[in-house]
Structure 1
């Protein structure tokens, strides 16, 4: 068995104690980094939830606008059809026909996004 002097043993224990303290400090530092990253993650999750809500609202608006466009498109088709029917029957007054043609042109332009 090897004999160690008391001084050597104390020095070795002190070095080990210093190493343990250094490792504990490193662990605490890592814990702080993890806490900051966790806080950042929570912020990102809140942003994602906000963006999801915004996307759902946009989708709802899109569906509503699409229904409106489809309704206007249907009215436009009906106007065109009625104009043809009146022209064929020659019962349509020229002033009304011109007005209806302007309405049709305005609706077509609006459907293309060019009407303001």
Structure 2
């Protein structure tokens, strides 16, 4: 699969954050992006804003996202893990997108699935 930007597609992104030392869950950030200009960010629990190590690869043929099985509709589910710059938090990113474009009809199911 060729690499591409998620900014070009409607998607829902869940970021579950954990304390690096204790592995204790601290919170979740939900980002909903729907073209052309709708972006909504919701924090659940005690999600901490912080600078993080860039997950981007300079090699355009290699994506750090892993595509994993998804039972919900026609959605593609991708997963990635990264760490904050200060090594205090580890984040598990899960991103859902619909190759046919319409993600709105799945929002409730996905929030139920991931929270």
Higher helix share: 1
Task: Give me the TM-score of the superposition, normalised by structure 2.
Answer: 0.16
Larger relative contact order, structure 1 or 2 (CA cutoff 8 Å, min sep 6): 2
Task: Give me the TM-score of the superposition, normalised by structure 1.
Answer: 0.16
Higher strand share: 2
Greater C-alpha Rg: 1
